[in-house]
A = this chain, B = another copy of it.
Amino acid sequence: MKGNAVYKRSYNGCLAICGTLGLGDEMPSENEISQSLSVSRTTIRAVMAGLEAAAILTRDSGARRLARFPEAADAFPDTQTVSTSATVERRFLEWILQGHIGPGHLLTAAELARQFGTSTTIIREHLPHFQHFGLIERRPNSAWLFKGVTPAFAHEIYEVREMFELRAARSFIDLPDESLPWQRMRAIEAEHRALLMEIDKGYALFPDLDERLHRTVHETADNRFIKDFYDIISMLFHYNAQWDAEDEKQRTFTALTEHLAYIEALLRRDLKAMDRACRQHLKTARGNLLRSIDARTKTPRR
């Protein structure tokens, strides 16, 4: 009825803790472990029982001691440590972004449930989320309309993104030099320069850096709707990046350069230059998205 992904994730987490111990050493208290793994003590107790059953821990008048070092085979595979819900969300978004269906297609919860091997409950929980993404439209008592990842979608999402990012960047400029976002931004600038030096090796690290830069800017707006919208952008780009590997190095180089112009303008508090650099960067990014949408339309189903 309910999966046990939390248990398995915690089990793997406890295995890691075991790895830091010597044979015969005592495990930390249940409270300590549950806090460090952000999980209830109930779950930890269940994990402890599992570890005892696997002869990794032994009971010794209340205390639990390491009986043997865990091996790689003791851990649960990563695929089992995420909830059904999260798995379906990922697979559904990937499926859509890979262009398996076109605009106008009707999605039925029952069919999706069969396709992804879950219950309709899970599907019905996620469809409104994708509606929030602007990807589908609800028809009460009927199927959902897929609106498609079209050029119009790209233009609309970027129109809002530009408004929000410019607004946020303006509030960033108003912050004092010692504020946390400014400190972060200076670190991010350094990382950009470092990455540019080693572009051949490091460009795989760029997506994470990109995310941190834009999120740092967006968060200074201190507006839940702006943050929430960036979550959409972020999710979309995360999955989009995975199947759009073409020219990745070149695109990364361009993005790094544009980012640096943007960051420098921000840190100089040069509003004009910031505005220009930001628009330029978003224009490039939108162009990339449009290009990958176009490519997908021509060769769907990968």
Hey, which bits of chain A sit against chain B, CB under 8 A?
A: 6, 40, 121, 124-125, 128-129, 132, 134, 141, 147, 153, 156-157, 159-160, 163-164, 167, 221-226, 228-229
Q: Which residues of B contact A147 (CB under 8 A)?
A: 224
Point out the residue from B6, B141, B156 that lies within 8 Å of A141, measured CB to CB.
B6
Q: How far is the CB of A169 from chain B (nearest CB, A)?
A: 13
Q: How far is the CB of A22 from chain B (nearest CB, A)?
A: 33
B141 touches A223 (CB 8 A): no
Q: A132-B228, A153-B224, A159-B223 are in contact. List 5 more A-B contacts (CB 8 A).
A: A6-B141, A40-B141, A134-B224, A134-B225, A159-B221
> How far is A229 from B221 in the complex, measured between Cα atoms in Å?
18
**A223 to B, closest residue via Cβ:** B156
> How far is A121 from B121 in the complex, measured between Cα atoms in Å?
9
Q: Which residues of B contact A141 (CB under 8 A)?
A: 6, 40
Q: Which residues of B contact A160 (CB under 8 A)?
A: 223, 225-226
Q: Which residues of B contact A222 (CB under 8 A)?
A: 156
- Known A-B contacts A124-B125, A224-B134, A228-B134; A167 and B156 likewise in contact (beta carbons under 8 Å): no
Q: Which residues of B contact A221 (CB under 8 A)?
A: 159
> How far is A124 from B153 in the complex, measured between Cα atoms in Å?
29
Q: Which residues of B contact A167 (CB under 8 A)?
A: 159, 163
> How far is A141 from B9 in the complex, measured between Cα atoms in Å?
14
25 contacts between A and B (CB under 8 A): A6-B141, A40-B141, A124-B125, A125-B125, A128-B129, A132-B132, A132-B228, A134-B224, A134-B225, A147-B224, A156-B222, A156-B223, A156-B224, A156-B225, A157-B225, A159-B167, A159-B221, A159-B223, A159-B225, A160-B223, A160-B225, A160-B226, A163-B163, A163-B164, A163-B167
**A142 to B, closest residue via Cβ:** B40
Q: Which residues of B contact A124 (CB under 8 A)?
A: 125
Point out the residue from B40, B128, B153, B229 that lies within 8 Å of A128, measured CB to CB.
B128
> How far is A229 from B124 in the complex, measured between Cα atoms in Å?
22
Q: Which residues of B contact A223 (CB under 8 A)?
A: 156, 159-160
Q: How far is the CB of A91 from chain B (nearest CB, A)?
A: 19
**A126 to B, closest residue via Cβ:** B128
Q: Which residues of B contact A156 (CB under 8 A)?
A: 222-225
**A131 to B, closest residue via Cβ:** B228
Closest 3 CB pairs of A and B: A156-B223, A134-B224, A160-B225
Q: How far is the CB of A224 from chain B (nearest CB, A)?
A: 5
**A166 to B, closest residue via Cβ:** B163
Q: Which residues of B contact A121 (CB under 8 A)?
A: 121
